[in-house]
């Protein structure tokens, strides 16, 4: 029987993504607002400071975040009205939008951009950098951030209620045996455990299977987004320009679309999303992205440039009816 250290906390957030970090900071802010209101009015009772922890499997916060994104500032402005003054690392402001429909060799620049794709005035950001910054704000507020603490399993009481999370053991060999540097995981006991593991979280899958939370929901549907960062010659693509595409290389039975975002210093974020419910078994989402870059109107934007980074991530696309029912 392995003896494990136990840490008692009030709230544990699993995953240091933007949602969990913002939620932890919001909770801490609301606690401070409540206590200040009680002190000012003399009504009610102050709440003792909550012990809040955020665990993250990566070696640092942001290590597993892969999104160059267009961010609507509405939510972060509610969380932190002066987010820009506090150093939020936005890259640039969106100055123009375009919506292209692509055939194999031609491009139709739509005269009207669909409302969901209108982003002028929003911000192009790196979510990895946003998360690093949010983690710093959480620590300043007294929230515990634990990098390199992957959640391996949820802890339950005798009535199947979640009472915390166990972090993964370290120092285990490929054969499953303990090595000399073996270190058992820690049991984080909490009144509330929040799962924010991403699109396909292992603990969320365990919980849904154990409690049957997905029994009355539609199966989840996924897409995969493949992206690259390119440094291109000056003049190839304007900073702040945002283009979204439909059509080539996807066929009429396959969900898919591309994006091109103009960042600072002549860097562009370019990528392609392919729905994983495709009919043609020979489709390769990575190959679809490479085809996308061969389109004449896309290729000329990359001409003379060099790729800086590459990555891919899954995206939930099933919508409301795939959400677990409590």
Q: Which domains does the chain have, with CATH numbers?
A: 6-64+131-198 (3.50.50.60), 91-121+219-322 (3.30.9.90)
Please provide the distance, in angstroms rounded to a whole number, between the alpha carbons at the two ends of the chain.
Answer: 34
Residue of 254, 197, 161, 175 lying closest to 54 (CA atoms): 197
Quote the pLDDT of residue 269.
Answer: 95
> Count of CB atoms within 10 A of residue 27's CB?
19
d(CA 225, CA 312): 6
| Residue in 69, 54, 66 with CA at minimum distance from that of residue 196 | 54
pLDDT at 204: 92
- Angle (CA) 171-210-64 rounded to 5° is 45
Whole-angstrom Cα distance, residue 101 to residue 218?
A: 31
Whether 10 and 193 have beta carbons less than 8 Å apart is answered as no
In residues, how long is the chain?
326
- E strand or H helix at 319, and its extent? none
231 contacts 306 by C-beta, under 8 angstroms: yes
Q: What is the pTM of this model?
A: 0.90
Can you spell out the DSSP letters for 101-124?
EE-SS-EEE-SS--GGG--TTSEE
Backbone angles phi, psi at 251, to 5 degrees: -90, 180
Kindly report the backbone phi and psi dihedral angles of residue 194, in degrees, each rounded to the nearest multiple of 5, phi listed first: -110, 125
Q: Are 185 and 166 in contact (CB under 8 A)?
A: yes
Nearest to 72 by CA among 137, 129, 125: 125
Q: How far apart are CA 199 and CA 315, in angstroms?
A: 6
- 8 Å CB contact between 156 and 162: yes
Q: What is the DSSP letter of 15?
A: S
Rounded Cα distance between 287 and 272, Å, is 10
Residues of the chain with pLDDT under 50: none
- Can you tell me the distance from the alpha carbon of 100 to that of 117, in angstroms, rounded to the nearest whole number? 11
d(CA 237, CA 305): 11
Contact at 8 Å (CB) between 20 and 196? yes
Looking at residue 83, its pLDDT comes to 96
Task: Check residue 176 and give its pLDDT.
Answer: 79
Q: Are 127 and 67 in contact (CB under 8 A)?
A: yes
Contacts of 32 (CB under 8 A, 6+ apart): none
Return the structure tokens found at 255. 């969900």
Smallest CA-to-CA distance from 258 within 111, 105, 98, 118 is with 98
For residue 55, what are the β-bridge partners? 14, 146
């Amino acid at each position: 029987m392995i003896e494990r250290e136990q840490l008692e906390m009030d709230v544990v957030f699993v995953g240091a993504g933007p949602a969990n970090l913002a939620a932890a900071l919001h909770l801490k802010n609301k606690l401070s607002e409540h206590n200040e209101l009680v002190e000012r009015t003399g009504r009610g009772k102050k709440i003792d400071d909550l012990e809040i922890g955020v665990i993250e499997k990566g070696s640092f916060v942001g290590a597993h975040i892969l999104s160059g994104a267009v961010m609507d500032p509405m939510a972060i402005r509610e969380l932190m009205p002066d987010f820009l003054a506090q150093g939020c690392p936005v890259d640039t402001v969106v100055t123009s939008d375009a919506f292209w429909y692509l055939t194999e060799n031609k491009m139709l620049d739509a005269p009207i951009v669909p409302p969901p794709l209108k982003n002028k005035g929003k911000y192009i950001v790196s979510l990895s950098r946003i998360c690093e910054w949010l983690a710093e704000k959480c620590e300043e507020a007294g929230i515990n951030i634990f990098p390199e603490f992957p959640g391996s399993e949820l802890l339950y009481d005798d009535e199947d209620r979640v009472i915390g999370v166990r972090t993964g053991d370290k120092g285990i060999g490929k054969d499953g045996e303990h090595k000399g540097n073996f270190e058992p995981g820690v049991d984080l006991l909490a009144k509330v455990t929040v799962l924010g593991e991403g699109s396909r979280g292992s603990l969320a899958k365990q919980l849904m299977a154990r409690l049957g939370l997905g029994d009355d929901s539609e199966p989840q549907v996924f897409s995969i987004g493949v992206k690259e960062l390119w440094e291109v010659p000056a003049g190839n693509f304007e900073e702040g320009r945002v283009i979204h595409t439909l059509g080539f290389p996807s066929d009429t039975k396959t969900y898919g679309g591309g994006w091109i975002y103009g960042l600072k210093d002549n860097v562009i974020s370019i990528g392609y999303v392919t729905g994983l419910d495709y009919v043609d078994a020979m489709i390769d989402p990575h190959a679809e992205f490479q085809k996308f870059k061969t389109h004449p109107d896309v290729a000329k934007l990359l001409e003379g440039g060099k790729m800086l980074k590459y990555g891919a991530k899954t995206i939930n696309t099933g919508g409301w009816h795939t959400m677990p029912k409590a």
